[in-house]
Structure formats: structure tokens, C-alpha cells
Structure 1
Amino acid sequence: MSHLRLSRRLCPFRPYSRSFAAISSNSPPPSLNTVGPYQVFDRNAKMIQRDNAARRQGGAKSRTVDYVRDEVAERMLDRFLDIKRKFGTVIDLGSGPGHFSKLLETDKVQKVIMLDSSEATLNRDPDSEFEVEVERLRGDEENILQSVTPGSQEAIVSCLSLHWVNDLPGSLVQIQKALQPDGLFLGAMFGGDTLFELRTSLQLAEVERDGGISPHVSPMTDTRDISNLLSRAGFTMLTVDIDEVKVAYPSMWELMEDLQDMGEGNAVIGRRNTIHRDTLAAASAIYKEMHGSEDGTIPATFQIIYMIGWKPAPTQPKPLERGSGKVNLKDVL
């Protein structure tokens, strides 16, 4: 577990299914598709939020809140380097400005294709910050096969982007189809305990002040479901593990402002676009009372689920048939 004690007001830091969303008062009206999987998120609203965040002050504010994504990208890289294989091309799905891609080196990967639905976020940082060759491709993370030929990719990675996908099982199936046989999928996404402190504080404050609650934090994927989803999508040799990143903030207000600058505003369909300031003040007091630290700061927990899966291939190792063992377990014990 990592504890990052920071706020962008206090000190800079650079080492963030279903995941979190911050309060938003100016999101566009929600749109509900009537065809396809159930729509949880307004994808158009999310794209606009991320574009605006990346353009604010020429991207300067967006860069100051990269700390969680950069930390998770480094932990993802450790897992990537454990795979003893060199890759010609890797797709970075939902790449953002390239938190993971910037860490890649030419002795491991020759080229990275950064695919993201937010054009401003995709082009926020210059090519000089990357060591490997970079190609930027604007596309829909929910429909990767619109941008990628099936069976064409050696590896696909995704660093903290799948939490805004409406049809996670369908997206995993598309990723599997886009891979070559024995192709790699490496991902990281937010788990069910992400921002539980903020969620509970807002719910208690709204019940007290407004007599009911509205969704302000996105529904989350249960960590126990990830292995089943990967298996259903056709991946083999699965590896799933969970970690946490905790960040300390002066108060709930700095946390919510940082979430906005990350482009993580509320995009749940049916959300309430405004929340009374006295309700927010009550939530801030509840947050500090229930979760505050002795030094006066408040913690924010980001639970991270890391997942590795491989597309099946005849060359992959397979378990021995049941009953083929030649050593009796009683003898070993």
C-alpha cells in the first residue's frame, strides 16, 4: 500500500467497474441510448469534461494532478517488465496524455499507439517526453474494434480508463478479439473501495439536509468479479491483484477540485447537476469527523485492480490432465 501525503496546494508530487466521479455543476444534459448495453455513463459529457480539463491553463492544471495516474502507471510498468518478451507495437487504450507510454523504453517496446476519445488529453504533452515512437489515435475506448483490426495486436494495455466504460464485459471481449494469439492484455482500473470516504460523507450529508441521495460517485466494479469477466472474455493464464494508493488532502474541497482538474467530474446518467453548498459543507464536516487524521488532513483511498490476461494460443503451457500426476500428495506431506 502506498501513502501519498500531498495536495497540489501544499507540495508538488510526481513519483490516481466502476470508479470515481467528482461533483459537477456544469455537466451537459445526459443522453440515454436505447440500443445496446445499459448506459450508466454519459460518454459525451465525459469527453467534454476531459477536453476542458486538459485545455485549462494550457494543460498546466491537468499536469499538477497527474500524481495518482503516474503512480499507478509505474506500478503497471513493474508488472510489464516482469514479462520476458519484447514487443514491436503496444496499444495504450484510454492513454490520456501517456502516463504509461512515457515510461516505456526501446529495449522493451519499439512503438506505442495511444488511443483515447479525448483529443485534447491525447495531445496534451509533446513527443519529446517519450522515448519510444508514438502514434496518437482518437477513438472510442468502448469500441476498440472500430479503430483496430481484429487479431492484429501483440499487446494492449489500459491504465485507469476502463472505469468510464458502460459495457465492461463487452469491452474486454473486444480487447481479446483485437489481440493476436498469445497476445497480452495488461490493465489497471479502480476497485470497489475507491473514494469510499467521499461517497459515505456525501450520502450522509444529503440524507440529513435533503432527505435523499443522488449519485455523485460512480458505481464500482467488485474486485471479485474481474477474474470471471476476464475468463468470460476468453483470456487465459489470468493474474489479478489489488493494491491501494492513499492521498492526504487538507480538506474535502481540495480533493473535489483535484478530481475536477483530473477530468473526473460526475458523468453518471441521471445525476443531479447541482448540490447545495450547505450540503457540501455538512459533507466536509462529516468527512473530517469520520475519516480525518490527527494532523488535520483527510485521506482519500484509491483501490487499484491490476489484471493480466493472455489470448489463447496452441503454444501456451497447459495444465496436465486430471489424474495424470505421478506423485502422491500424501508422500509429499
Structure 2
Amino acid sequence: MSDAMQVFDRALVRRRRERAAAGIGAVRPVLEAAAERLLDRLDDTTRRFESALEIGGRGSVAPMLTARGIPFVASMDLSPAMARGAGGLAVAGDEEWLPFGAGSFDLVVASLSLHWVNDLPGALVQIRRALKPDGLFLASLPALGTLQPLREALGTAESELRGGISPRVSPFPELRDGASLLQRAGFALPVADRETLDLRYRTPLALLRDLRAAGEGNAVLAADRRTPPRALFPLALSRLPAPGDGLPVALQMLVLTGWAPAPSQPQPARPGSANARLADALGTVEHKAGDPTRPH
């Protein structure tokens, strides 16, 4: 992987998730709510799944998959401690180098875990290869707009105190990027949509504590690693909107759904193979290009 593709410090991500493993219960309600939104997509298919891999679920995804009757569930995490407590067969592994053979699973789920991957297209290709034909991939990632007030408050405060800005909140993908990522990775029937999880915190400091408890500290390589000014976080947090009933935080989730290609799936018709005209179906008159009688 070229240096230009290195956005995140993966070793730092692993260390932070390792430290967060013991206290992950503090944020379990948020993780479970996000996982439920994602796994609702399973209700839209009659496909029965026998072997599932969940990536980075932090103890929220594997129990839900088991409760849905899936007999074999493996839980993979960059952090060995997080993998051990996830609820499935524990596998310590890297999303950028999946340790599984082709066709190992018929379901792969990644709930809020792929946003720290440097080569996301490459990781999606490996996930698709790990699926059996007609296997399903479900993923959610924080989308553009998540933590935007915090990003802006930190940037403004740091600019005032230091005269410059260091990235302190991870960059997130846009909705329009989702389907194209799945197509590039070779998934069939790709779908990208958005889910919003509305949260509320008593204080801005409580939000920072939850991010730390989830192992979601800043791991951007370009971040300034110097000790921040003592006034940085108090100044930034004082500028966040905090009405009397708490600080509203919208977790915007990009939800990806794709299938591993299989001959049994619906295929697009060959060009020219239609046996009915669109004009007839719409009850209108067909005009050729350049026809002077064509309405304008």
C-alpha cells in the first residue's frame, strides 16, 4: 500500500481498542442500537445463513446473530481482547488482511468498524472473496455529518490558540460513495442508504468519554501529536450547543448491502433483447431524434 493511502495509524487503533475492551459495556446501548438498525436488513430476505463472520462488533453483533438462529458465528477484531469478549468464535485479525479462505462464510457483518481502514476498497474485495456465492455483506460506517459540530468547535478553538488546525475527528465517507465502493469490489445488487441514530448527552464531556470508551480516539496520521493546549478542549466544548435537555448528537450511518455474485441471481437483460416498447407501456408516441414533429 502506498504512503498516500495511509490515513490512519492502525497500530494506534489496535491499542485503543485493546484498552477499551474491559469497559466496552459503558457504550453497549449505543452499539446495540446501531447493530439492530443494521441487522434489520436480514428481515428483508428469506435466505437462511449457516456461517457468519462479524467484524468489530464489540460484543453487540454476535449475540444478535446467534439469537437469529445462525449456528456458527466468528467474531474478528483488530484487538485480541475485544475479539475474546465479542461473543463468537474469537479471531484476532486485520480488516486489511483477512485471514480467511475464499467462500468461508455466507454472511459478513461489519457494524461501525470499517471507518479506520486505510484501503477500504481493498478490504471490501477481501470480504467479497470470503463470502460463498450468493452470500450477503452488511456494513455500517459513520457518514459525513457525524460529529460535525465537534469537528468545527475543535477546529475553531485550535485555530485561535495555535493559529492552525490539526485533524482531530476522523474523515467519514459520503452516501454517494457507498454503492460505487461495492461495485468496485465486485458485489452484486449493491445498495447504499442512510440511517440516523439520534443520541443525547447530558454534557459535551460525556460525549468525549463515550468516544474514548468505544476506542474511538483520533488515529489520523496527520494529527498533531504534541500535547494540546490546556485550554483547547474546555474552549471547544464551551461552544457546542447544549440546551437545557442535553447535547443532541446525530450518528449518521452509511449502510452498505451487497451480495457475492452467483448464477442464480437476477441478471440484467442483454441490450436489444426487449420484446415490448417503452412508449407502448407509457401510452405515448415514440419520436426519433431530429423528427420535426417531435414536441419540445
User: TM-score when scaled to structure 2?
Assistant: 0.88
- Contact preservation (8 Å) 1:192, 1:303: yes
Q: Who is 1:141 aligned against?
A: 95
Q: Who is 1:182 aligned against?
A: 134
Deviations 1:161-185 (A, max 9, x none): 1001010011011111112222211
Structure 2 unaligned spans of 5+ = 283-296
**Secondary structure, aligned partner of 2:125:** helix
Q: Does 1:113 align with 2:74?
A: yes
Q: Who is 1:74 aligned against?
A: 36
Q: Who is 2:291 aligned against?
A: none
**Secondary structure, aligned partner of 2:71:** strand
> How many angstroms does 1:296 deviate by?
4.8
- Hey, what's the Cα distance between the residues in 2 that align with 1:304 and 1:81? 19
Q: Who is 1:283 aligned against?
A: 236
- Contact preservation (8 Å) 1:96, 1:118: no
Equivalenced residues, count = 281
Is the alpha carbon distance of 1:137 and 1:79 closer, same or farther for their aligned partners in structure 2, counting shifts above 3 Å?
same
- Hey, what's the Cα distance between the residues in 1 that align with 2:147 and 2:45? 31
Deviations 1:274-308 (A, max 9, x none): 322322222112212xxx33x25222221101111
- Contact preservation (8 Å) 2:174, 2:254: no
> How many angstroms does 1:105 deviate by?
4.0
Q: Does 1:38 align with 2:5?
A: yes
Deviations 1:5-53 (A, max 9, x none): xxxxxxxxxxxxxxxxxxxxxxxxxxxxx85762111111111111111
**Secondary structure, aligned partner of 1:87:** coil
Larger Rg: 2
User: TM-score when scaled to structure 1?
Assistant: 0.79
Q: Who is 1:211 aligned against?
A: 163
Alignment partner of 1:51 out of 18, 24, 30: 18
- Contact preservation (8 Å) 1:194, 1:303: yes
- Hey, what's the Cα distance between the residues in 2 that align with 1:44 and 1:214? 20
- Hey, what's the Cα distance between the residues in 2 that align with 1:95 and 1:245? 17
Is the alpha carbon distance of 1:115 and 1:278 closer, same or farther for their aligned partners in structure 2, counting shifts above 3 Å?
same
> How many angstroms does 1:106 deviate by?
5.9
Q: Does 1:104 align with 2:65?
A: yes
- Contact preservation (8 Å) 2:161, 2:229: no
> How many angstroms does 1:319 deviate by?
2.1
Alignment partner of 1:306 out of 245, 248, 255: 255
Using CA pairs under 8 Å that are at least 6 residues apart, name the structure with larger relative contact order, 1 or 2: 1
> How many angstroms does 1:121 deviate by?
1.4
Q: Does 1:90 align with 2:43?
A: no
